[in-house]
Amino acid sequence: MPKNITPLIAGNWKMNGTAAALAEIEALREGVEDTPELRCEILICPPATLISRMAEKARGSAVQVGGQDCHSQKSGAHTGDISAEMLADAGATHVILGHSERRTDHGETDAIVRAKALAALGSGLVPIICVGETEAERLAGEALAVVERQLAASIPDEAGSRTFVVAYEPVWAIGTGRTPTTDDISQMHGAMRKLLERRFGEAGSRVPLLYGGSMKPGNAAEILAIGDVNGGLVGGASLKAADFLGIIAAA
Ligand code: PEP
């Protein structure tokens, strides 16, 4: 992990958690306060219903709170959707965009993800743009090409002068307990770094590149030690403060 980028350990709670789960944030906050040398940024992205209450509980601590999606428009007739401005108003600092579950469940294309990222930047949020190949694409030898295509098309040009994050999440590693080899992660992150540098110059060398997919306390240190891995996007292991603190300790 290069030293010039502060690692980000981000938790994605997905559609999990009601008010009772806020106790995990209290435990996380205490655990983080007890961590002697904190060397990473910490973010939890709960369901939208918990953002403002979680932000209240996290206030004054190193724990930041984010959304899991936003609409590309500022407001209007979009029943059930949430704008970037609303997330920021609720206390979010970041928003996950283009997660493979949204690409699959909601048919989100790279163009939609790009429009959402632009909206997030416009509301002062840091977009975490997710990319990653399916198992069939990896087996067909297309992983690099798929990720490079998603990366090129999902990031708006305007992001070059702003802060944004990229998460490489192989779809087949999400929630399965399987992870790519360290060589495969290294190759993918190296390719993403090159692409970002070609497109955005020096700014591209400063974009945090997260790995996501079955990251746990037991494998975090090995994954986070890979060159060009600047943190993790963590699903299942972010739901319990003890597990998430184990990953933070590895960073
Ligand atoms: C995710 O959904 O972003 C994720 C990485 O999930 P998990 O850690 O559970 O594989």
Q: DSSP of 87-137, one letter per residue?
A: HHHHT-SEEEES-HHHHHHS---HHHHHHHHHHHHHTT-EEEEEE---HHH
Ligand 1, from 13, 131, 172, 174: best to mutate by most atoms within 8 Å of Cβ?
174
CA 160 from centroid of its chain's CA atoms:
18
**What is the predicted pLDDT for the residue at 24?**
97
Kindly report the length of the chain. Answer: 251
Task: Tell me the pLDDT band of 61, cut-offs 50, 70 and 90.
Answer: very high
Q: Which of 41, 108, 137, 169 is catalytic?
A: 169
* Residue 122, pLDDT above cutoff 80: yes
* Residue 62, pLDDT above cutoff 80: yes
Average pLDDT score over residue span 225-251 = 97
The rounded percent of the chain whose pLDDT value lies above 70 is 99
**What is the predicted pLDDT for the residue at 197?**
97
3-state SS class at 213:
coil
Distance between CA atoms of residues 213 and 142, nearest Å: 18
Distance separating the N- and C-terminal Cα atoms of the chain = 9
Distance between CA atoms of residues 190 and 186, nearest Å: 6
Q: Which atom of ligand 1 is nearest to the CA of 173?
A: 10
**What is the predicted pLDDT for the residue at 4?**
84
Distance between CA atoms of residues 65 and 90, nearest Å: 9
The rounded percent of the chain whose pLDDT value lies above 90 is 97
Ligand 1, from 44, 233, 244: best to mutate by most atoms within 8 Å of Cβ?
233
Task: Tell me the pLDDT band of 82, cut-offs 50, 70 and 90.
Answer: very high
Is 101 a catalytic site residue? no
Ligand 1, from 8, 9, 12: best to mutate by most atoms within 8 Å of Cβ?
12
Q: Whose CA is nearest to atom 4 of ligand 1?
A: 235
3-state SS class at 152:
helix
* Residue 3, pLDDT above cutoff 80: no
* Residue 66, pLDDT above cutoff 70: yes
Pick left, alpha or beta for residue 211 (phi over 0 → left; psi -120 to 50 → alpha; otherwise beta).
beta
Average pLDDT score over residue span 37-43 = 94
Distance 76 CA to ligand 1 centre (A): 31
* Residue 36, pLDDT above cutoff 90: no
In the chain, which ranges are continuous DSSP H helix?
Answer: 22-33, 51-58, 84-90, 100-105, 110-122, 135-139, 143-154, 182-200, 217-224, 241-250
Residues 6+ apart with CB under 8 A from 76: none
Task: Tell me the pLDDT band of 158, cut-offs 50, 70 and 90.
Answer: very high
Q: Which of 24, 99, 101, 108 is catalytic?
A: 99
- Contact status, residue 212 vs residue 189, Cβ threshold 8 Å: no
Mean pLDDT rounded to a whole number for the chain: 96
Reported as a single tens digit per residue, the pLDDT across 139-157 is: 999 999 999 999 999 999 9
Q: Which amino acid is at 2?
A: P
Task: Tell me the pLDDT band of 214, cut-offs 50, 70 and 90.
Answer: very high
Distance 233 CA to ligand 1 centre (A): 7
Average pLDDT score over residue span 17-33 = 97
* Residue 23, pLDDT above cutoff 80: yes
* Residue 190, pLDDT above cutoff 50: yes
Average pLDDT score over residue span 172-189 = 98
Task: Tell me the pLDDT band of 169, cut-offs 50, 70 and 90.
Answer: very high
Which tokens go with 194?
A: 């090159």
**What is the predicted pLDDT for the residue at 1?**
46
List residues near ligand 1 (CB under 6 A).
12, 169, 174-175, 212-215, 233-237
Torsion of CA 196, 202, 206, 210, to 10 degrees: 10
3-state SS class at 10:
strand
Distance 77 CA to ligand 1 centre (A): 31
Is 106 a catalytic site residue? no
Other Cβ atoms within 10 Å of 216 Cβ, number: 17
